[in-house]
Amino acid sequence: MSDHLDAYIDAAAQALGLTVKPEWKPAVRANLEATFRFAALVGEQELPDDAEPAPVFRA
């Protein structure tokens, strides 16, 4: 998966016109790995049929 993430980082940076220095890639990769793990956890949760998004988010 690391090779796929490296390719994704390169492609996303190019598409967004960003520069990602080689020394930044390990941190960017670690953040993406964590984000994808969290997204998988959220995606596993089942919602009831009548669930609707909250109209206002407050932290």
Q: Decide if 20 contacts 28 (C-beta within 8 A).
A: yes
- Closest Cα to residue 36, out of 1, 3, 11, 7? 1
How high is the pLDDT of residue 14? Answer: 97
Distance of CA 27 to the CA centre of its chain: 13
Judge whether residue 52 has pLDDT over 70.
yes
Instruction: Count CB-CB contacts under 10 A for residue 6.
Output: 14
pTM to 2 decimal places: 0.70
**Model confidence pLDDT, tens digit, residues 25-51:** 999 999 999 999 999 999 999 989 898
